[in-house]
Structure 1
């Protein structure tokens, strides 16, 4: 078992950026995007009706439209 002073010394050391990212990835996985929506090009965003277009294209012919 680790000694309490070992934990204190590890916690007191400043964490580098890559260590912080690795720790967060271990806890949360890779769920957060590297950029936020305001940093991305608006042309790259999907249209709101893209989901409906895909869904309607999946309707079998015998169901009609």
Structure 2
């Protein structure tokens, strides 16, 4: 009966190894720490009238 549980354990260990390898690959590319949330989820840097003005200044010329 113990042989039935070994493949599940092996699969779980393989999944953990793959997850760690993927995290290491991402860390090599983007640095060690990536935020878990984005700026808009945290409230962002642009608020109120400043944010509205920034958005208006980003309109492409053909949307005039």
TM-score, L = length of structure 2: 0.27
TM-score, L = length of structure 1: 0.27
Determine which structure has greater relative contact order: mean sequence separation of CA pairs < 8 Å that are 6+ residues apart, divided by chain length.
2
